[in-house]
Structure formats: C-alpha cells, structure tokens
Amino acid sequence: MPDSLSLFMFDPAQPDQDFPPLEQAWDAPNGLLAVGGDLSVPRLLRAYRSGIFPWFDVRDPIYWWSPDPRAVLYPGRLRISRSLRKSMRNRGYRVCFDRNFSGVVHACAAPRSGGPGTWITPAMQAAYQQLHAAGVAHSVEVYDGADVLVGGLYGLAVGGVFCGESMFSQAVDSSKTAFVALAWHLQHWGFVLIDCQLPNSHLRSLGVETIPRTAFRALLDQHAATPPGTDWVFREGVDLSRWEPTD
C-alpha cells in the first residue's frame, strides 16, 4: 500500500473529524483519500453518505477510498442473460433478506480459490455487524433445496442508494440470483442506484456502468436523506426469471 505519511491522516484525538473533500483523492491508486480513524458506526455512516468506503488489508491501517469514475447499476438497466433466466427457473433456489447476515459476511470473507487473502478483516466484519444491528446494513441470501446458504451479498442502504460491499457464490449463478433479487426489490421500493464501487467484467455483464464521481456524489446528496419505505422482506411469488428491467 502507499506511503501513509503523504495522505490525509485522521487525528486520534478528534473522533468526529470530517473527511477531506473528495477532490483530494489520489489518481493513483485511484480514489485513495485518507488513512486512519476507526470503523465506528458514526464514522462509517459519514463515509458512505459522502461517497467514501474503507478498504484495507489486515496488515495495513484503515484506508478510505472514493474512486473516479464510480461503478454503479441503475436497477432498471440490469441485464439478465437467457442462461441466467433458465438457471433461476430450474435450480430451485430460495431467496431471503436478512435471515443470516453474519453467514453472508463470513462467506464473503472466506479466501477465494487462487486469490489473495480477504480484505474483509475481523474488524470489518464486526463493524458491519454493528451496522446491521442499527438497521443500515442488509444481506441477500440464496439457499438451495436443502436450505443450505449457497450465495449472497451484503451492503448498506444509504437513503435511496444501496452501497454494495461484497458477494459470494458456492453454486452456479447463486450470487447473480441474489443480485437480480436485490435489483428487483430496490426498483420497486424506489431506490435510484446500486453502488458497486469498482467495475469488473462480472459486474459489467450484469449492466453495471461507470459515472463520474461528481455525478455519484450528487445522487447521494439528493437521495441520502429520503430513504424509501421497505421492510427488507423478499416478496414471495415473484418470478425473477420473467422480469424485464426498464428505467
């Protein structure tokens, strides 16, 4: 990671210290903004409402990021492939919200095959558990026919924006099924955007696009204070395989 001495550093004696302006974020690595502080619920909420998120290795201090451009999905622009529709019809998956938040976070934190160690450290897991207890963080879970958790994702509801954090898959198309279920419900609840932070080929295949950081922050400012009404319960009887997303 970069030399923390050249970054904005939080003062341990000022727990309510504000984040620096997003314009101070580095170009390389893209979006690195600040170092230090803590993972308290108030600080995390200030971060996400400002378009900032923590991301660091277990050996590092806390690094805070706001990349430009930002990867996002407008729920009505989700792409559902023919093979994914077939999978959702035939695999017998069951979708739930918030039934096993800790199980989803733990599965997302597990080492990936052939990949580096997880960035979802024990401290991060504990912090998001606190956000879940506060009613801010939510999970989408996918269970197989034996009621085994085989896929899912978690993130934060910040007003009308859902800030996705991580997803996992232990069965074919299980994480994609969770993503479709999330997008369907968010659109019907009145959310405007899913924040995916950084783009990759998997997300792009689902319709994720990039927008300037300034546009993302403007959407946050416009919608963060007006959370849509939702009970975070999966609507039984919804046939996700037949959904045709539209703006």
Which ranges in the chain are annotated with CATH 3.30.70.3550?
Answer: 4-67
CA distance 59 to 63: 11
Q: How much is the pTM?
A: 0.94
pLDDT in tens, 200-223: 999 999 999 999 999 999 999 999
Q: Side by side, which strands form the sheet with 8-9?
A: 8-9, 32-35, 63-65, 53-54
pLDDT in tens, 170-196: 999 999 999 999 999 999 999 999 999
**Which residues make beta-bridge pairs with 141?**
96, 152
CA distance 194 to 158: 10
Q: How high is the pLDDT of residue 117?
A: 47
Q: Which fold has domain 4-67?
A: Alpha-Beta Plaits (3.30.70)
Q: Name the residue among 99, 110, 172 with its Cα closest to residue 140.
A: 99
Which ranges in the chain are annotated with CATH 3.40.630.70?
Answer: 71-242
Architecture of domain 71-242: 3-Layer(aba) Sandwich (3.40)
pLDDT in tens, 13-28: 888 899 999 999 999 9
